[in-house]
Structure 1
Amino acid sequence: MTTNLKISLGIGAVIAVIVALIVAAVAMTGQNTPAAAPATASGPPTVPSEFLVREDSHRLSTASDDKVTLVEFLDFECEACGAVFPHMERVKAEYAGRINLVVRYFPMPGHRNADLAARVAEAAARQDKFEAMYLRLFQTQKQWGEASESKEKYFLDLAEEAGLDMTAFKRDLDAAETAERVKKDQGDGLALGVQGTPTIFFNGAPLDVEPSYENLKAKIDAALRS
């Protein structure tokens, strides 16, 4: 056997091993990652709907025709989420009853009070006050966000101002079920590839434009006309 032939066979063996490793890695990844639908000419690929909206997901607006569904994974302490909040509120008001607007929890680990704020909203939801607390948390974000200490006392004051039953609220705030509800949203977000907030999905696909009012309105109008 010539030296060149030996080298060629050696290189071929190495390539075969590399290919096998890549195939195995892809197979293992596929077991844990939901498969996305293929991309279409009209936009990016959609994601599995079962991870986007659950039966108990919080809806700020509900449409009968399901032509438009916006799902936002958010962190109440996230400044970028706070910046997007007025745009989402504007489209919610303008398209009330014509679009589905769904909010999912995704508190980021770098924010001291993000998980607590999500549990505050969920505890309020147990008294049918989710939207009221959602609004107050964003409207007051500058007063409590980016703090290094717990803002539980501040949140308790918000709950009292909202007229909640404080005994029930405190119980639900500390309940394991409330923490699990927040973690369930986080789990769905991670399954969808969410890495930061806000992450917004428009009709099952990651939003491909900046979430300004103008951009959201343009996409909503186009979808409603279709």
Structure 2
Amino acid sequence: MTIAAGFVCEEGILICADTEYTSSGDKLEAAKIFPRSVDNIEFLFTGAGDRSLIAMTTDMICDAIEKENVALAGMSLSSRTEEVRRIITTQNQIVYSQYVNYANPPISETQMLIGFLSRDGDICEYRLLGVGSPTVERIDTYECIGAGASIGRWLAKTFYYESCPLDLIKVAALYIVQEAKANVPYCGGGTTIYTLKVKPENRRRMTLWDDESLAR
């Protein structure tokens, strides 16, 4: 089980998640946000559900983009952004048609959030995508997934607005994950935040492993 959330603002994208997962009844700690990069494209992947499926989908998407790297580099920024989205959609459909639909025993429902930012000199474009079943949709504001999604969405709508600054989103993201961990079974562990920023600072990571560090 998971609480993970993604936010879009003028300064870029933020993705946050807890770090606890359950395996054979045991509660374990592990990262749930996976940063990747292919040349001038930065990615953040996170998911809720089957960990193996999330990892495989992440690898397949990155491998497919790597194979198209030369073609992507020759595209305009807007064309590259749409091509990356097409590749993500195609690979996700392959995962579901070849693996999920025939899994025995059935694979638990899996959702993902994928943020990516593509640069061309001093300009960039970025997208946050929500992946559920074989569908991929663009998210223009925010989305929460996992067992803590309901409480996350309820809290997010109380603070989020169109020009919401990234610093405010960071504070709200911390609060959302903490509330999910406090009130939703199987959400727990630490809190991890990554950002993809329009200004060329690329990924920034902050991990808070317990409530004590959050209070500092």
Using the size of structure 2 for normalisation, the TM-score is: 0.25
Between the two structures, name the one with larger relative contact order (CA 8 Å, sep ≥ 6): 2
Say which structure is richer in helix: 1
Which entry has the higher C-alpha Rg, 1 or 2? 1
Say which structure is richer in strand: 2
